[in-house]
Amino acid sequence: MATMGNSTNIFWHECPVSKVDRQKLLNQQGCIVWITGLSGSGKSTLACSLGRQLHCRGKLSYVLDGDNLRHGLNKNLGFTPEDRTENIRRVGEVAKLFADAGLICIASLISPYRKDRDSCRALLPEKFIEVFLNMPLELCEGRDPKGLYKLARAGKIKGFTGIDDPYETPLNCEIEIRQEDGNCPTPNEMAGQVVSYLEDKGYLEA
């Protein structure tokens, strides 16, 4: 019997089919690929390209995209520091469930605060792969596919990451994707970098 947060008198129920069983079925290791970076850095693009490459190799993945989850699970949250922290916490917990199901869970969120990303890492320390999309603000702002930077510069959006809200760069990420000679790698190249890492570390077999 345990107390967790506001829940008292709760019990953990173990199921007979384990994570190891599910991983054998899928011939892969459940894990969390956590993509962090500025708005417009290419998180969703990388997540989709990675999902496609894994699918083509017969590996089961699922994308948890920050923007998309804010249409449902997280629709009661805004962009205050407290709401962002709760947003990341919930997605971290959901990602942990997907990883426990044996999937390669791809979470793509700005996740601007180091402490929040580190809390998610602590949920699954051995199976957490932090991918930093290290693209300069000028590139992201130049892309501005949703026109949000323009609104933020005009003061019409307050607390926009990179403009008047901080982005804390990762200190210990597993993968960093950056420009080479002023050129951004293509979506396929970015995804390939992550797939190579997963392969090298043995995630793509049981």
Q: Which residues of 65-98 are buried (b: 16+ CB within 10 A; e: fewer)?
A: bbeebbeeebeebebeeeebbebbeebbebbbeb
User: Distance between CA atoms of 104 and 29, rounded to whole angstroms?
Assistant: 7
* 111 in active site: yes
- Please report where in the chains the tokens 């180091």 appear, as a residue: 114
Give the integer Cα–Cα distance in Å for 110 and 67.
9
CB of 131 to ligand ADP, least distance (A): 12
- Is residue 112 a contact residue for ligand PPS (CB under 6 A)? yes
Binding of ligand ADP by 74 (CB under 6 A): no
Residue number with CB closer to ligand PPS (43 or 96): 43
- Give the per-residue contact string, 125-154, with ligand ADP (x = CB under 6 A; - = no): ------------------x-x---------
The reply to whether 41 sits near ligand ADP by the rule CB under 6 A is: yes
Cα–Cα nearest to 130, from 190, 174, 83: 174
Q: Residue 37, interface with ligand ADP (CB under 6 A)?
A: yes
Which pairing describes strands 7-10 and 2-4: parallel, antiparallel, or unpaired? antiparallel
CB of 196 to ligand ADP, least distance (A): 16
**184 is in the binding site of which of ligand PPS, ligand ADP, none (Cβ under 5 to 8 A by kind)?**
ligand ADP
Catalytic residue among 39, 111, 119, 196: 111
Residues with a known catalytic role: 111
